[in-house]
Chains A and B, each alone.
Chain A
């Protein structure tokens, strides 16, 4: 069975600092991995996805993630945090052709 673990339910950074949100996955087959962002009272927006092409994936809003098979990780990073990045972030793995399995989420707080 596939699963996703997000370490840290809350992450706080200063504006301009590096953002690092951790995601580890478990999958018996080559995974398709996703990062979504959820702003308050809104739906999920896709930030980026890994589909077995390049291991470093660039997404929207300056985010990127690196797929590391040896570490079963897909951590999300952004070099410089902006106040508008404050939101909840979900890592997900696709099970089969359509079912998304989500982690429990990490809430990012950005301090001025």
Chain B
């Protein structure tokens, strides 16, 4: 039973480019959460999605960041016009319902040059 999958594992972008991070939840899971881990810090909640719906985006920066979880395919976290401060590890977690244990993927490490 495959766990939560994220790709790419490492992503390098130059300032001003776009970054697209993908997350495939565990089989049977329809709830996805994105967290960001800045260097030397803990994870910070960004957004909670169910299929085709954004439930809570209170942790998302208001500009340049967006997330989606379409009916088919993985969840996508999109960062437009990246800046150096976006360099971080981005983790995705999934659950079968909002109260259950969150299973985390291996993360995508974004480096902005």
Where the two chains meet, the residues of A that have a C-beta atom closer than 8 Å to any C-beta of B are 4, 6, 9, 36, 41-46, 49, 90, 92, 97-105
Q: When A and B form their complex, what is the total count of cross-chain residue pairs whose Cβ atoms lie within 8 Å? A: 56
Contact of A100 among B43, B105, B109 (CB under 8 A): B43
With A97-B98, A100-B45, A105-B42 already in contact, the answer to whether A43 and B56 are too (CB < 8 A) is: no
B-side contacts of A42, CB under 8 Å: 106-107
Where the two chains meet, the residues of B that have a C-beta atom closer than 8 Å to any C-beta of A are 4, 6, 9, 31, 33, 35, 40-45, 48, 56, 91, 93, 95, 98-99, 101-102, 104-107, 109
Contact A44 B43 (CB under 8 A): yes
Q: What does DSSP make chain A's interface, helix, strand, loop or mixed?
A: strand
B-side contacts of A101, CB under 8 Å: 45
A99 to B44, CA, bound (A): 9
Contact B101 A46 (CB under 8 A): yes
With A99-B56, A103-B42, A105-B42 already in contact, the answer to whether A44 and B91 are too (CB < 8 A) is: yes
Contact B42 A43 (CB under 8 A): no
Give B91's nearest chain A residue, CB to CB.
A43
Contact B43 A43 (CB under 8 A): no
A103 to B39, CA, bound (A): 13
Complex A-B, nearest 10 residue pairs according to Cβ-Cβ distance, in ascending order = A102-B42, A43-B104, A44-B104, A98-B98, A43-B106, A102-B43, A104-B42, A97-B98, A99-B45, A43-B105
With A43-B91, A44-B91, A97-B99 already in contact, the answer to whether A102 and B44 are too (CB < 8 A) is: yes
